[in-house]
Structure 1
């Protein structure tokens, strides 16, 4: 019995009916956008890319994306703010790495700047310290210079500025008993 309902739904469903595209590209565009937005928030650029892959004409895509933006289903500013908070709290990413991720998702530069600037510098430093504290025990017994490089490198991969990274690691090593004079006051210049 359930199989009959399912096959009947396919016959009426258009895109699911044997691989044929429905006659209405606007309906296809709405369906694609709603399906993607139901699984997770998306940027306008991500949705536009998905519509291009589904061969939705540009004018139809723009009309549907405009309507979705007008009713608040697409909001790149809210997406960027949520992304920054989530990825900073969850992965410990710094402003630079967060900005790069948002740009890869098609968020406009001004929106990216506003979102990452909302991240408090004190919060960023606190997160850097927590990352170092979490990683520090795994480096015990390793040469101090090598520990410094590994920990600063870990922070660099997460987008933290070199000066902040070096200072936070140096302080963490000093708190653990390392000789603070063993390291220069500033990070060595990059070659």
Structure 2
């Protein structure tokens, strides 16, 4: 049974852009059904995108998948997807907020915005993952998670379809671990599996 974030141990935030769809689907497909984590995915999408991404994610997992609406509660054991053309933030530990302010790194939703918000709300209980992409969005946000004591993983740029985004995070010192694309799903599944 899903619970609200009171007592939550982990929030997984995953960000990616060009070339990130395949690793996102692999990660979602490996997530344990009994996780105590709330999972948040931010992928750069054009305004007016339909729900195809939600459907693709839902087909890979038994966990509920939801595109976030303003003031939605943050629930454990759920996968939340940033909607196109809105920044996704944590209003606090219990609720999401959407924001339509200016683009950051040419992007809305911005990975940086969500990562920085997660770091501020959840501190050391955050796991941040940055995947393939063609701009620097996410690097500073991942650094904020690492500075807050959270765990940060970056897709090995050598295994990324577009290496620039993960490379920027590494250059910034935001990467706690650099992980081969094919090893990310199992690594995250082990981190998020409910402990006895």
TM-score, with structure 1 as normaliser: 0.25
Larger RCO: Structure 1 or Structure 2 (Cα < 8 Å, ≥ 6 residues apart)? 2
Higher radius of gyration, 1 or 2:
1
Greater strand share, structure number: 2
